[in-house]
Every structure is written in structure tokens, then in C-alpha cells.
Amino acid sequence: MARGEGLSARYAIGLGARCGVEAREAVALIEKAREIYVSGPSPARGRRWPGVSGSDEGGADPHPNAEIALFTIESKHGESGLEEAARLLNLPLVFLPLDTLLARKDELLTRSLRVEALTGVGSVAEAAALVGAGAGSRLFGPRLASAGVTCAIARNALEEAP
């Protein structure tokens, strides 16, 4: 699990979560977002993301330029459900400072008034995905939500549209 800025991924999976979220709920929503937006089986099933080397092993190397990584707000550090989901998916989980999410808030596709009142960001998942994929990145679509978790996927600006 990493903290900090300057980390980016070719595909960034942004997550928002309520306290106590179960890993299986997060994994299920990540799989659903993957199937909807990137078309095909999820990294948990060991299948390839378009053009991503190493994704047959179900993930990416947990380093500053990972091909696929999970991103969330720094205040979720220690949230065992998210950390377990990252372990199950064999993906790095990066915790981002709130100010980096705020810098991308005007690019969000959806907004939760409750989350915006708490954090100043209308969608932690969408903002985290955008920050995680780097400058000029774009969301595949609006975040998906379940009872306790939200998920959005963004691609790096250098990645061609699917």
C-alpha cells in the first residue's frame, strides 16, 4: 500500500468507500466496472486489459508507474476491506491527499452531495481515478456504486480510447 503523489497508472481504478466495507463488495464492483467500461473479464480473473503487459498474472507491479492500480483518498488508509480487495486483485493501492483530488473536481461526471459536504469532492472514486491516471487523463464513464463502495476507471492521456 503506497502513499503519495507522483504515482500514475495506465489504467487507474478510483475507489470511494464507507467505513467497514467488505473486500468482496469492492472486488465485485471493480469487476463490474471492468466489464462495462473496459470490456471483458476483470484482473481478478487474470485476463488482459487492452495492451497491458503482465495483466495475465492479475495485476501490475506495485511501483510508481504501474499499468493498473487502485487509488483512493488518504483518509481511507487502514480500511481493511479496501486493502484486502487490493491484495485479492494483486494490485497496488495508493492513498492520495485530498488536495490532489480537489484539483480534479471540475472534471467529475457525477456528484454525491453527501460526499461533497464531507470532503469537498463530489466523487472520491472519479477524482481518485483521474489523479491516478495522471494529467490529461479521462474517465471511461460515470462511477458505479453499490451499498458501500463506488468505483470509477480512468485511462492515462497517452492511452488510446478503447
The answer to the question of residue 82 being in a domain is yes
Q: What is the CATH number of the domain that holds 11?
A: 3.30.420.180
Domain count, the chain: 1
- Full domain range(s) for residue 122: 2-155
Stretch 132-153: mean pLDDT, rounded?
Answer: 97
The answer to the question of residue 162 being in a domain is no
Distance in angstroms (rounded) separating the CA atoms of residues 70 and 23:
13
Stretch 9-22: mean pLDDT, rounded?
Answer: 96
Flag the least confident range among 58-67, 85-94, 143-152.
58-67
The answer to the question of residue 161 being in a domain is no
Q: What pLDDT, on a 0 to 100 scale, did the predictor assign at position 4?
A: 52
* pLDDT tens per residue, range 99-113: 999 999 999 999 999
User: DSSP character for 11?
Assistant: E
Q: What pLDDT, on a 0 to 100 scale, did the predictor assign at position 88?
A: 96
User: DSSP character for 161?
Assistant: P
Coil/strand/helix, residue 91: coil
Are 58 and 46 a contacting pair, CB within 8 Å?
yes
Are 78 and 93 a contacting pair, CB within 8 Å?
no
Average per-residue pLDDT for the chain: 85
Asked whether the predicted pLDDT for residue 45 surpasses 50, the reply is no
* pLDDT tens per residue, range 56-81: 444 434 344 468 999 999 999 999 99
Distance in angstroms (rounded) separating the CA atoms of residues 126 and 132:
10
Q: What pLDDT, on a 0 to 100 scale, did the predictor assign at position 56?
A: 42
Asked whether the predicted pLDDT for residue 50 surpasses 70, the reply is no
Cell numbers 465485485 correspond to: 28
Distance in angstroms (rounded) separating the CA atoms of residues 95 and 52:
23
The answer to the question of residue 160 being in a domain is no
Of 5, 2, 9, nearest to 153 (Cα)?
A: 9
